[in-house]
C-alpha cells in the first residue's frame, strides 16, 4: 500500500513539474499538495474519533472536509492549480466561519485562519498577485466578522462534549502551529534560495560585464591598431609607386619592387590574421583524424619561402603512425603562428639555430612542445605576449597578433598553452591539446548509454 501511495505521489509530482514555469512555482505547488494531504489525514483521524464518540454527524462532516482536500489534489494533478488554490480559500473560509460561529470562541477553530493568512502569501506566485490579495482580504475579513459578532452569529447552537472539546482544541492548535511554522519555514527557505540565486546571477552578470568591457576594449584596440597596420604597408606601397614613376634605372626599380613585395606580404599576413580571428570566433569545432607527423611536416614546408627557413634546423620527434583526433583547421592556424614566430625570431649569432617539436602523451591531453634557441623573450614581456597587437621586440615587423590568435584558438579547442622563455637563450611553448574521441570510443560510449537507458 505504501508503495502504491508513493507511486501516486510521484505521478502527481511529475504532473506538477510539467505544468510549472520555473522551479519556485513547482516547489510551491509541491508543498501545497503535501499540505492538502496532511490536512486530509488529520481530518480523517478526527472523523474516526468523532465516530468512536457516536458523533456521527460531526464524523461525516470531517470526512467530507477530508474528501474536499483530496479533490483539490486532483485539481492540481489536472493542472488546475489556480482553481484549486482559489477553491481552498473560499471553501476553508466558509467552513471555518460556520464552525467557529456554531462552536464559539473557546473552540479555537478560528485559529486556523492564522495559517490560512500565511498560506495566502505562500500559495500564490508573483504572477497571481491579484488572487493573493483577494484570498488574503477574504481571510482577514472572515476574522474581523467573527470578532465583531463575538463568534455567536448562530448563537453557538452546536456544543461539544466534555471529551470532544479538548480533543478538538488539540487538533486545531496542532494544525495551526504545524501549518504556520511549516509554511514560514518554506517561505524563509525560498527567500534564502532566491537570495543565493540572485547572488549567482549578480556574479554571472559581473563576469559577463567584465568580459564585455574587455571585448569592447579589445575591439577599440583592434580597430585602431588594424587600421594603422593596414595603412602602414599601403603607404609604403604608394611611396614606392611614386618613386618608380620617376626612376629610369631598371636595377633600382627591381630593388623598389622587392620593397613593395615585402609591404604586400606584410599586408597579406595581417589580413590573414584578422580572418583567422574571425573564423575562430564564428565556426564550430570539427573533430577529424589527423596524422600528426605528416600534418606538422606540411605546416613546416609551407614556410620554405622564408629567408630564415634555410638557416634553422627543424626536427620532429613524433611517431610516424600517431593519429590525433582534433580540429585540423584550427591546429594549422596554431602551428603556423608558432612556427612563424620561431623562424622570424631565430638568433643569427648562434652556430646552429633549431626548432624541436616533441610529442608527449598525457591522460586527457596531447602535449606538443615547440622548443627553439632563438632570441627569447624578456621576463617582463612573458605575461603580455598573448595580448592583441603586443610585440615583445622591435627586431621584426610582425603584426603582434600571432600568439593572441594561438591563445584564442586553443581556448576554442578547450586546450591550454604554456610558455617559458629566457632572453638570449630561447623559448619553450607547450600545447595541451584535448584528445578528441575516436569513432570506436564514440560507439562504445553510445553502447554504454543505450545499456543504461535499457
What does 258-317 look like in DSSP terms, one character per residue? HHHHHHHHHHHHHHHHHHHHHHHHHSPP--EEEEHHHHHHHHHHTTTTSGGGGGEEEEEE
Q: Are residues 318 and 417 in the same domain?
A: yes
CATH number at residue 402: 3.30.565.10
| 162 occurs within a structural domain | yes
Tell me if 383 is assigned to some domain: yes
pLDDT at 1: 47
Domain containing 418: what range?
Answer: 284-454
Residue 15's pLDDT is what? 83
The residues, any chain, with a CB within 8 Å of residue 43's CB and separated by 6 or more, are 62, 63, 65, 66, 69
- Report residues of the chain scoring pLDDT below 50: 1-3, 162-163, 445, 448-450, 452-454
What integer pLDDT is reported at residue 338 of this predicted model? 92
Residue 197 in 3-state DSSP? helix
Q: For residue 437, what pLDDT is reported?
A: 62
Given this model, what pLDDT does residue 449 score?
46
Q: Is residue 31 part of a domain?
A: yes
What backbone torsions phi and psi does residue 277 show, to the nearest 5 degrees?
-60, -45
The rounded distance, in Å, linking the Cα atoms of 105 and 111 is: 10
User: How confident is the model at residue 165, as a pLDDT?
Assistant: 53
- Please give the helix or strand (H or E) that residue 340 lies within, else none: helix 328-344
Alpha carbons 184 and 175: distance in angstroms, whole number: 14
What pLDDT does residue 356 have? 95
Residue 182 falls inside a structural domain: yes
Note the pLDDT of residue 334.
92
pLDDT for the residue 187: 77
Three cell numbers, residue 152 = 455567536
Degrees to nearest 5, angle at CA 15 with 9 and 19:
145
Task: Examine the domain organization and report whether 303 and 183 are in the same domain.
Answer: no
Q: Nearest-CA neighbor of 402 among 413, 393, 412, 391?
A: 391
- Contact call for residues 140 and 117 (beta carbons, < 8 A): yes
Q: What is the mean pLDDT of the chain?
A: 80
Inside any domain, residue 270: no
Number of domain units in the chain? 2
Say if residue 306 is in the same domain as residue 442.
Answer: yes
Amino acid at each position: 500500500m505504501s508503495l502504491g501511495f508513493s507511486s501516486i505521489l510521484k505521478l502527481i509530482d511529475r504532473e506538477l513539474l510539467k505544468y510549472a514555469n520555473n522551479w519556485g512555482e513547482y516547489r510551491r505547488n509541491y508543498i501545497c499538495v503535501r499540505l492538502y494531504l496532511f490536512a486530509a489525514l488529520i481530518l480523517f483521524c478526527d472523523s474516526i474519533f468523532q465516530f468512536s464518540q457516536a458523533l456521527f454527524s460531526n464524523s461525516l462532516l470531517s470526512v467530507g472536509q477530508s474528501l474536499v482536500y483530496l479533490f483539490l489534489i486532483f485539481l492540481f494533478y489536472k493542472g488546475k492549480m489556480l482553481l484549486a488554490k482559489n477553491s481552498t480559500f473560499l471553501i476553508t473560509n466558509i467552513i471555518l466561519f460556520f464552525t467557529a460561529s456554531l462552536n464559539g470562541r473557546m473552540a479555537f477553530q478560528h485559529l486556523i485562519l492564522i495559517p490560512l493568512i500565511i498560506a495566502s502569501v505562500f500559495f500564490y506566485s508573483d504572477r497571481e498577485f491579484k488572487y493573493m490579495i483577494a484570498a488574503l482580504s477574504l481571510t482577514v475579513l472572515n476574522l474581523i466578522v467573527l470578532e465583531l459578532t463575538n463568534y455567536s452569529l448562530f448563537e453557538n447552537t452546536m456544543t461539544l462534549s466534555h471529551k470532544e472539546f479538548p480533543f478538538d482544541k488539540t487538533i486545531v492548535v496542532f494544525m495551526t502551529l504545524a501549518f504556520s511554522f511549516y509554511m514560514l519555514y518554506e517561505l524563509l527557505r525560498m527567500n534564502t534560495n532566491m537570495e543565493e540565486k540572485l547572488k549567482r546571477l549578480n556574479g554571472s552578470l559581473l563576469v559577463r560585464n567584465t568580459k564585455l568591457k574587455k571585448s569592447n576594449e579589445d575591439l577599440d584596440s583592434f580597430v585602431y591598431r588594424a587600421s594603422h597596420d593596414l595603412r602602414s604597408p599601403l603607404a609604403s606601397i604608394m611611396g614606392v609607386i611614386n618613386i618608380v614613376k620617376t626612376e629610369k634605372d631598371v636595377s633600382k626599380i627591381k630593388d623598389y619592387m622587392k620593397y613593395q613585395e615585402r609591404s604586400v606580404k606584410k599586408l597579406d599576413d595581417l589580413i590573414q590574421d584578422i580572418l583567422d580571428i574571425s573564423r575562430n570566433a564564428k565556426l564550430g569545432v570539427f573533430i577529424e583524424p589527423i596524422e600528426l607527423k605528416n600534418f606538422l611536416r606540411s605546416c613546416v614546408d609551407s614556410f620554405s619561402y622564408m629567408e630564415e627557413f634555410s638557416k634553422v634546423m627543424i626536427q620532429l620527434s613524433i611517431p610516424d603512425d600517431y593519429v590525433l583526433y582534433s580540429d585540423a583547421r584550427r591546429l594549422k592556424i596554431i602551428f603556423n603562428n608558432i612556427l612563424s614566430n620561431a623562424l622570424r625570431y631565430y638568433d643569427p649569432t648562434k652556430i646552429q639555430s633549431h626548432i624541436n617539436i616533441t610529442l608527449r602523451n598525457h591522460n586527457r591531453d596531447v602535449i606538443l612542445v615547440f622548443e627553439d634557441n632563438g632570441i627569447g623573450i624578456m621576463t617582463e614581456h612573458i605575461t603580455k605576449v598573448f595580448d592583441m597587437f603586443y610585440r615583445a621586440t622591435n627586431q621584426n615587423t610582425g603584426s603582434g597578433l600571432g600568439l593572441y590568435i594561438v591563445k584564442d584558438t586553443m581556448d576554442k579547442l578547450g586546450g591550454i598553452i604554456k610558455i617559458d622563455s629566457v632572453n638570449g637563450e630561447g623559448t619553450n611553448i607547450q600545447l595541451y591539446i584535448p584528445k578528441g574521441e575516436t569513432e570506436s570510443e564514440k560507439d562504445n560510449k553510445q553502447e554504454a548509454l543505450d545499456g543504461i537507458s535499457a
